[in-house]
Amino acid sequence: MAKRKTKFVCQECGYESTKWMGKCPGCQSWNSMAEEFEEQQSKKRGFVTSGVSSSKKPQPITTIERDQEQRLSTDMIELNRVLGGGIVPGSLVLVGGDPGIGKSTLLLQVSAKLAQNNHKVLYISGEESVKQTKIRADRLNVTSDNLYVLAETDLEFIEKAIEEINPALVIIDSIQTVYMADVTSAPGSVSQVRESTAALMRIAKTKGIAIFIVGHVTKQGAIAGPRLLEHMVDSVLYFEGERHHTFRILRAVKNRFGSTNEIGIFEMKEIGLEEVLNPSEIFLEERSEATSGSIVVASMEGTRTVLVEIQALISPTTFGNPRRMATGIDHNRVSLLMAVLEKRVGMLLQNQDAYLNVAGGVRLDEPAIDLGVAICIASSFRDQPTNQTDVVIGEIGLTGEVRRVSRIEQRVLEAAKLGFKRVIVPEQNLGGWTIPDGIQVLGVSTVREALDILMGG
């Protein structure tokens, strides 16, 4: 007979213990251990069947024929770019983001696009009734006979609905509301999320159906549930942005079928999310003229070049320790660049507060923006405005040198398209490529040299 066993599972990381503890030894979080019941079935020879049996034998990789994968186009250029060219049949995609950021809106619009292309789509909501989903669909002008809506949380009934309709795409909103009757813990617990995701993955792989699941996030911004959840799925997409700002960024942090460096940019409007095909123009349209502490940098996000404005405000501190605040840039990188300016250029910044911001809510992670950060800090400190038609590109080392960056030709070409007249690049990047017409490219080898060109010393 089955033996019933009590265990305590951390709801943050999945750590299991036979007794309750106030602090989880795995993730160090407090009051996260919840009691769950485990059904232990008798096993033969220590083996447990997974429910999927296979009679296939191992074969050499050289004998395997590779079929051309057929992707489902969503007719949304931004989403197709993030997914690597479209939705792969049989894939399991996890979409995370803050509450109210637009996850359900995006997936409902994707459902409408595929339904209009004669693909059956099953939208399963565990948080809304079908009438509430209909109200949101009417607001987004979503209507199609190929779009099926179901309000259900029991995975057994969800699987029956999938077998009955046989859709090309299934959307589960959200995975924290789905439960399996065989698992005794509550919906949203570590065990339920893990087992439900495993069952959905089996459905996706065996039937060749693409499944999107929505995941809630914690206060720290990570997807709620065990870390194993992100390892089980094929792709993990994060929907980022401020609730009170219109721009949304869809970023892939894991993708087995494409690059993880791509981003898609959307704008939230009354009728739903609209794609931003040229984000550089939007990020720069409100830029002030003849103002110190501002410079434009060219950043690469996957295969896309994005021109954004970096702003800095340097002011004397009124406290013993100066403040260092950064939005959209790594705080530690800002401190490092200010130390380089103080040591190699001679700027007395140790008694100055520093506030930096990337306009538009974009987060920049690559080192090619270092020179732009240093220039806008120096511009604000000296209260000298930079030229409005300049773009700065380059990585800075601890000795004050400006180092080579990748894809310099694409960055300069994007600046030329938007009407910029001059680009400051690392000297090592000069040569080997064609400079576009109408733009001047100057190479620098040190930060001091770049300051001499942009601000006259």
Supply the pLDDT for residue 242.
Answer: 67
Q: Do 442 and 306 reside in the same domain of the chain? A: yes
Q: Do 267 and 308 reside in the same domain of the chain? A: no
Q: Do 120 and 242 reside in the same domain of the chain? A: yes
* Strand 235-240 with 92-97, pairing: parallel
**Bigger pLDDT: 63 or 440?**
440
| 172 belongs to an annotated ligand binding site | no
Supply the pLDDT for residue 455.
Answer: 83
| 99 belongs to an annotated ligand binding site | yes
Q: Which of 244, 276, 308 is the last residue of a domain?
A: 276
Supply the pLDDT for residue 47.
Answer: 38
**Coil vs helix vs strand at 385:** strand
What total number of domains does the chain contain?
A: 3
Average pLDDT of the residues in 229-237: 91
Report the b/e string of 278-298 with b at 16+ CB within 10 A.
ebbebbbeeeeeeebbbbbbb
Q: Which of 276, 301, 330 is the last residue of a domain?
A: 276
Which distant-in-sequence residues (6+ apart) come within 8 Å of 61 by Cβ?
none
pLDDT digits (tens, 9 = 90+) for 54-80: 567 888 988 888 766 688 999 999 999
Supply the pLDDT for residue 40.
Answer: 54
- Is the predicted pLDDT of residue 255 greater than 90, yes or no? yes
| 394 belongs to an annotated ligand binding site | no
| 104 belongs to an annotated ligand binding site | yes
CA distance linking residue 101 with residue 108, whole number of Å? 14
CA distance linking residue 307 with residue 410, whole number of Å? 11
Average pLDDT of the residues in 422-450: 94
Closest CA to 178 of 159, 152, 198: 152
- Is the predicted pLDDT of residue 415 greater than 90, yes or no? yes
Element housing 269 (H / E): strand 263-269
Supply the pLDDT for residue 51.
Answer: 45
- Is the predicted pLDDT of residue 382 greater than 80, yes or no? yes
pLDDT digits (tens, 9 = 90+) for 331-347: 999 999 999 999 999 99
Domain that holds residue 214: 71-276
Supply the pLDDT for residue 428.
Answer: 94
In a domain, 61, yes or no: no
Q: Do 138 and 238 reside in the same domain of the chain? A: yes
| Residue 53, strand partner residues | none
8 A C-beta contact, residue 199 and residue 170: no
* Helix intervals (H) in 73-153: 77-83, 103-116, 130-139
| CATH code of the domain in which 309 resides | 3.30.230.10
- Is the predicted pLDDT of residue 167 greater than 50, yes or no? yes
Q: Which of 251, 276, 301 is the last residue of a domain?
A: 276
Average pLDDT of the residues in 122-136: 94
Closest CA to 450 of 306, 313, 297: 297
| 97 belongs to an annotated ligand binding site | yes
CA distances in angstroms from 397 to 174, 324, 336, 373, 447, listed in the order given: 45, 20, 10, 13, 9
CA distance linking residue 343 with residue 286, whole number of Å? 34
Supply the pLDDT for residue 133.
Answer: 94
Supply the pLDDT for residue 286.
Answer: 79
Q: Do 260 and 321 reside in the same domain of the chain? A: no
| 101 belongs to an annotated ligand binding site | yes
pTM of the model: 0.76
Supply the pLDDT for residue 93.
Answer: 96
Mean pLDDT of the chain: 88
In a domain, 66, yes or no: no
| 98 belongs to an annotated ligand binding site | yes
